């Protein structure tokens, strides 16, 4: 009885996770990839497109599962955790603790962390070079670590800071402020005061008074 109860709870948990991910992917396909203009151009309602997206995503998932079910895919667990740690964790930390975190920093963080995590996983021993890898007959494991999060998470934090702070723009502004041209522009006297324009305004005022 206890084993049956635990199995039912585990099955419901997995089913809930799969349903949530499928629904989120369908919404992303409908609203981000197709968009309102695409829906209006095709003349199809949003609920219909979401249903078709769910069917297409489930079909692709079944094909991929059937194709790789005989291969060791244990590395996907470490990859999913590293991916979440590289994209979600830095974004949450910066959003809660740093008021200067903006949209550019978020994009740099997400795309940079995602790309780096995928790239390091492809060249890790979990994919090739070992007997328990996804492709044991191949050998292109240039990255020695099994978990890419050890590199991708700090890199994502760095990319988020670079995209939001943009220190090169501040350095360029300081160099421009310290340049001789900026100094000469800031020291140009106003008309009617000391300098080469002295007397012009006063002469005009004198003519007006006369």
Specify the pLDDT at position 93: 92
Specify the pLDDT at position 183: 54
Task: Find all residues with CB under 8 Å of 85, minimum gap 6, and list them.
Answer: 149, 152, 153
Interhelix angle for 149-165 vs 75-97, to 10°?
Answer: 30
| Cα–Cα dist 91/156, whole Å | 9
Specify the pLDDT at position 79: 82
| Cα–Cα dist 53/46, whole Å | 10
Among 17, 29, 165, which Cα is nearest to 84's? 17
The β-bridge partners of 128 are 135
Specify the pLDDT at position 94: 92
User: In the predicted model, what is the mean pLDDT of the chain?
Assistant: 77
Cα 92 to chain centroid distance, Å, stands at: 12
Task: Find all residues with CB under 8 Å of 189, minimum gap 6, and list them.
Answer: 195, 196, 197, 198
Specify the pLDDT at position 112: 92
C-alpha radius of gyration, the chain, whole number: 30
Residue 38 host element (H or E): helix 35-42
Token representation of residue 70: 């005989």
The pTM (predicted TM-score) of the whole model is: 0.61
Specify the pLDDT at position 175: 67
Specify the pLDDT at position 108: 92
Other beta carbons within 10 angstroms of residue 136's beta carbon come to: 14
Q: Which residues of the chain have pLDDT under 50?
A: 190, 192-210
Tell me if 72 sits within 8 A of 132, measured CB to CB.
Answer: yes
């Amino acid at each position: 009885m206890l084993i049956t109860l635990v199995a039912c709870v585990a099955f419901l948990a997995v089913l809930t996770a799969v349903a949530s991910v499928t629904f989120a992917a369908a919404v992303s396909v409908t609203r981000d990839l197709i968009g309102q203009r695409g829906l209006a151009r095709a003349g199809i309602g949003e609920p219909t497109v979401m249903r078709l997206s769910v069917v297409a995503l489930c079909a692709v998932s079944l094909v991929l599962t059937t194709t790789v079910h005989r291969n060791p895919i244990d590395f996907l667990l470490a990859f999913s955790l590293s991916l979440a740690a590289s994209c979600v964790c830095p974004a949450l930390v910066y959003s809660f603790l740093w008021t200067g975190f903006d949209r550019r920093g978020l994009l740099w963080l997400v795309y940079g962390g995602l790309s780096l995590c995928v790239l390091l996983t492809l060249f890790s021993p979990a994919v090739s070079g070992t007997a328990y890898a996804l492709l044991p007959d191949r050998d292109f494991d240039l990255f020695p670590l099994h978990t890419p999060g050890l590199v991708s998470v700090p890199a994502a934090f760095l990319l988020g800071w670079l995209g939001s702070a943009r220190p090169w723009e501040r350095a360029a502004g300081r160099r421009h402020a310290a340049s001789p041209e900026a100094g000469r522009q800031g020291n140009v006297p106003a008309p009617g005061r000391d300098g080469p324009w002295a007397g012009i305004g006063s002469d005009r005022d004198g003519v007006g008074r006369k």
